[in-house]
Amino acid sequence: MGTDALAITIADRLPAAAIEQLPSSVRSIISLSAGLDHIDQAAAKARGILVQQAGRDAIVSSVADFLIATTIFSLRDAFNQVGVRFPEAGWDLSWNAAGVDLSEATIGVIGMGKIAIAFIERLRKLTHCRIIYSHDETLRRGADESRLYLEYCTRDQVLAEADVVIPICALTRETTGMIGYEQLAKMKRTACLINAARGKVVDTEGLTRAMQEGLIRHAFLDTTDPEPLPRGHALAALRNATITPHFATNTTFVRQQLVEDVGKMVITAFDHKAMGLEVEEKKLRKDLAVAHMITRKYGMDELVWNHMSAMLSDGAMLITPGALLFDEVRPEDISKCTDNVTAEIIHAAVYKARPDIRAVVHLHTPASVAVSCLDQGFMCLAQESAYFHGKVAHYDWQGISDDVGEGPALEAAVTQPLPNGPCNTLLMRNHGYCTFGRTVAEAWVLAFYFNKACETQLRVLATGAKPRLPDPKVLAHAARQSFLPEFAPGVQEWAALERLAARKPC
């Protein structure tokens, strides 16, 4: 018996080294936290371990409610009034708090994830005030902008124009220390900062200096960096700064939901193992059948040739059966062996060299074959190519792959060092291409976008004009964004593609 699921709290750190040492039986890491920055998700992904968040709905709801309360309290300058003595002579009608009415306020949000959306939805039930937000422009929430009457702004605009600035973003390399002294200096003197994101999103020393100088009216911090602040820290003593101990989620209700969710997730992990390979194989057969069908629907097939595969956890490989058009392939047709020696050699070599790869799609689309024949190979030119920035390996055509001796050359190709490696695509010179993923969905969606990127490249080159290459920094940033958990290849698209595969011809 091994460990199927590992439940941890925000206090438990799981860097890559710790994940590598987990037992091979671990299939799921369940975190009782609002964020996942304490887990090396790339290392978990490489191990094929699913990272889950317990009580996610309860956390989203609780933080959104908390932000409604603290936003209104901040706008009324109420935090600065906490602890002020009631006048001994009774009411003094000449005194009024210097605040802003909610209906007249500008609320600024940095980030636009589930918590931000839930907060804004609640806010819209109370007011039609101006709400501005800043987010990665490649991930703008167009539908939500229209539905919730949001204005997209740059981060500097949010800082300069908002009466309350609320970062609600994940902690990443880009957001660490995002709000510091320079950013606070851009805010209105009458503005407030509310941080219910990770403490490290705000630079503590910069904030302390800004509050000592009175650059903004008030800072409300439900998280700090470090946490807790050292005893006697200057920020904790300031009247214009209020600090609470993770009060947004530290409630008995949320904790109960977290614990109850963990139990359900652990049971699911045990049930999945008990059902074993039968369930796993059934799903993979279905996914591969869908992949064949949509390849045909998008005209990316080549009669009965080309092949796709997926690896079972017991080391067996499911693969294209051969001798069938791709829209004829049903789950039961998927084979554990094939008469196509080429397929066996290519796929076996990839899986042997790259244990992180669990699915392979190999195609000869006209666009990819044409690009494979170009001396410069693949070029990253437009948005769809961001998936492949620094992640395309090249392999010289060896003729028909019918010699098992070719395996080591293929293994070397998919393990060659790359700027953003390991590779997720192998461009086979004068031949075609392979894409790789943890799932069939990921591998196929990468195959779709690689083909689209090749089509774009050919159209650009066909003009005869000099291509305008993307800014390397912008491309690198887009590449990172393309693999965020909620936007990774296949995450958003696969359910729709399954429906497309099941759709009957008109």
SS3 assignment, position 95: coil
Phi, psi of 133 (to 5 degrees): -145, 155
Phi, psi of 505 (to 5 degrees): -60, 145
Is 227 marked active-site? yes
Is 47 marked active-site? no
Active site residue: 56, 246, 354, 477, which one? 246
Give the single-character DSSP code of 40. -
Active site residue: 151, 205, 227, 455, which one? 227
Side-by-side strand order, sheet with 164-167: 150-152, 130-134, 106-110, 164-167, 192-195, 218-221, 241-243
On whether the CB atoms of residues 63 and 33 are closer than 8 A, the answer is no
User: Which of 359, 313, 366, 307 lies closest to 335, judged by CA?
Assistant: 307
Can you give 265-331 as a three-state secondary structure string?
A: HHHHHHHHHHHHHHHHHHHHHHHHHHHHHHHHHCCCCECCECEEEEECCCCCEEECCCCCCHHHCCH
Can you give 377-434 as a three-state secondary structure string?
A: CCCCCCHHHHHHCCCEEEECCCCCCCCHHHHHHHHHHHCCCCCCCCCCEEEECCCEEE
Active site residue: 135, 198, 217, 347, which one? 198
Side-by-side strand order, sheet with 307-311: 317-319, 307-311, 359-363, 432-437, 425-428, 392-395
Angle at 495 between CA 492 and CA 500, to 5 degrees: 120
Is 292 marked active-site? no
Tokens describing residue 119: 């907060």
Active site residues: 198, 227, 246
